[in-house]
């Protein structure tokens, strides 16, 4: 069936390096995507979103890229810091689905080492 997924379950990077977390989706009707960060013992925290009429969106130290041709989403974190260690989820909100329904990937664990 259609699902939001992630290419890698874990990612380890050195402090100061850039991180790239990937997400694949298969529903071409999806028109809105969100990245969440979840630290251990806490709820998901909104990072950045992007709509399907955009290819790129930048925030503070984060950039989301959307490639609709291959149905791929990525989150880039610049100058990764220890505080960035967390699980990162992508989520899609499929057009025509139950209002407000978010479909989540299973997450990628990002570990930042000194």
Partner 1 sequence: IAGITQAPTSQILAAGRRMTLRCTQDMRHNAMYWYRQDLGLGLRLIHYSNTAGTTGKGEVPDGYSVSRANTDDFPLTLASAVPSQTSVYFCASSDGGGASDTQYFGPGTRLTVL
Our CB check for partner 1 shows the closer of 18 and 45 to be: 45
Q: Is 111 helix (H, G, I), strand (E, B) or coil?
A: strand
Q: How far apart are CA 17 and CA 3, in angstroms?
A: 30
Angle at 107 between CA 35 and CA 14, to 5 degrees: 85
Residues in contact with partner 1 by CB under 8 A are 31-32, 34, 36, 41-46, 49, 51, 89, 93-102, 104-107
Instruction: State both tokens at 11.
Output: 């990612």
Q: How far apart are CA 16 and CA 114, in angstroms?
A: 9
* Smallest distance, partner 1 to C-beta of residue 97, A: 7
Our CB check for partner 1 shows the closer of 21 and 107 to be: 107
Rg (CA), the chain: 14
Our CB check for partner 1 shows the closer of 83 and 100 to be: 100
Our CB check for partner 1 shows the closer of 99 and 114 to be: 99
């Amino acid at each position: 069936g259609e699902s939001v997924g992630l290419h890698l379950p874990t990612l380890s990077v050195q402090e100061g390096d850039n991180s790239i977390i990937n997400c694949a989706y298969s529903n071409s009707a999806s028109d809105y995507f969100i990245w969440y960060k979840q630290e251990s013992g806490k709820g998901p925290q909104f990072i950045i979103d992007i709509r399907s009429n955009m290819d790129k969106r930048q925030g503070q130290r984060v950039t989301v890229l959307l490639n609709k041709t291959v149905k791929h989403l990525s989150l880039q974190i610049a100058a990764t810091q220890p505080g960035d260690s967390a699980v990162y989820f992508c989520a899609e909100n499929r057009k025509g689905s139950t209002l407000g329904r978010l479909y989540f990937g299973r997450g990628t664990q990002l570990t930042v080492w000194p």
